[in-house]
Amino acid sequence: MTVPAPCPLLLVEDDPAIAETVTYALAREGMITTHCLLLQDARRQLEHQAYAALILDIGLPDGSGLDFCRELRQQAATATLPILMLSARSDELDRVLGLELGADDYLGKPFSPRELVARLRALLRRSRQMTAGPGAPAPEAFVHDLAGQRILLHGTALALTRMEYGLLACLLEHAGRILARDYLLDRVWGVRADSADRTVDTHVKTLRAKLRQVDGRHEYIATHRGMGYSLELPQQP
C-alpha cells in the first residue's frame, strides 16, 4: 500500500549508504525524496520548497539535528512540519529530548527500512487527518480552530507541536473520558510500537506545561493510573 505524498520528503543524512537505503525504500512506496548531506543545504531547501515531512539525522557534520529541530519549531513556516528523527544514540534520554524539542517520532539506528516507512506513513496519515478532519466541538474554555490548525485556551493560542496539537485535539474530542495510551498512540501517531511506550507520557508532560502557562489554576489533563488520560474541565460555580 502506497501513501500519496502531496509534497516531496526531505531527508537530512550524512551517511550515503543509509541515505540510499532510505531513498530506495521510500521510492518503492511512491514517495519522492530530496536528500541533503548538511543542515545548511536543508535550510536552503526549506526556504524554497514545501515538504510533506522531514527525516532528520541527529549527528551531522555542520551541527546538531536536535538544535535544527528546535529551530524549525520556532519558525511559523515549519512549526507543524512532521519530523522523524534518526540517531545512532537510542537511549531513553536522547529519545525524550528529541520529542521534547518537537520531533514527532524517533527511530534508532540500525533500523528496518520497513519500520521507517511504516512510521513515516503514520506521520503523513495523521498530517492529512489533522488538515482535513471534521473534528468535534471543543468544550468551554477551549476553542479549536480547525482551519488555522490551532487550539486556544481562554482566548490565548497555545504554541503546540504537531503531535501536541493532535493529542490535545483527541482529548478535547472525548472530554471527560479516559483514553488509554494505546488508543492515543493509534489515533495521534497512527502506530503502536514498543519504542513508543513513553511517547504519550512525554507529550502529556510538555502539553501540561504549556496549558499551565496560560491557566495555572486548573490541571486540565488528569492521569488515571494503569488506565490512561482524560481532559477535565473546572466545575462551573
The pLDDT value recorded for residue 137 is 46
Which string of DSSP letters, residue by residue, matches 49-63?
---S-EEEESEETTE
The C-alpha cell at 39 is 543542515
The pLDDT value recorded for residue 25 is 92
Domains and CATH numbers, the chain: 9-130 (3.40.50.2300), 133-231 (1.10.10.10)
The pLDDT value recorded for residue 125 is 74
Contact 220, 231 (CB under 8 A): yes
The pLDDT value recorded for residue 237 is 45
Measure the CA–CA gap between 136 and 81, rounded to whole angstroms: 23
Task: Report the DSSP beta bridge partners of residue 93.
Answer: none
* Average pLDDT along the chain, 237 residues, taken 10 residues at a time: 58 95 90 94 91 92 92 84 83 69 84 89 71 51 78 88 90 86 83 63 93 91 90 70
- Is beta strand 228-231 parallel, antiparallel or unpaired with respect to 221-224? antiparallel
First to last CA, the chain: 53
In tens, the pLDDT along 73-122 reads 888 788 888 899 998 765 566 667 777 778 888 888 888 999 999 888 88
Degrees to nearest 5, angle at CA 45 with 88 and 17: 35
Measure the CA–CA gap between 98 and 126, rounded to whole angstroms: 19
- Is beta strand 54-57 parallel, antiparallel or unpaired with respect to 9-12? parallel
Per DSSP, the three-state class of 121 is helix
The pLDDT value recorded for residue 144 is 82
Measure the CA–CA gap between 206 and 164, rounded to whole angstroms: 8
Per DSSP, the three-state class of 179 is strand
* Residue from 68, 147, 141 nearest 103 by CA: 68
Please give the mean pLDDT across all residues of the chain. Answer: 83
